[in-house]
Amino acid sequence: MCKDKRPRCTRCGSRTGLARVSPVQSIELRIYECSSCGQTDCYEVTAEPGAPWILLTGERLTEILSAWKRSNKEEGQ
């Protein structure tokens, strides 16, 4: 993704860099890190073309990260 289309950091506003893309349940989890302040932002992305990305926070973030961790443990067994 070109620099001007990467999401801005929710803390300092700088452009973030993609750190990881992982399938979780029926969505894709995209994790962006800010090289300026170290903030990590997680986005829920669906396969629907043109669908908005959802910045994950609170309970939804906890739910998705728990599912991601479970799937990683299952793959490691």
Say what percent of the chain tops pLDDT 70: 92
Report pLDDT digits (tens) over 41-56. 999 998 888 889 999 9
Amino acid at 46: T
Task: Pick the closest to residue 29 from 75, 73, 69, 2 (CA basis).
Answer: 69
Residue 15 bridge partners (DSSP): 8
pLDDT confidence of residue 75: 73
Q: Does residue 24 contact residue 63 with C-beta atoms inside 8 Å?
A: no
pLDDT in tens, 9-18: 999 999 999 9
pTM of the full predicted structure? 0.81
Which percentage of the chain shows pLDDT scores above 90? 61
The answer to whether residue 58 scores a pLDDT higher than 90 is yes
Give the whole-angstrom CA distance, residue 24 versus residue 16: 22
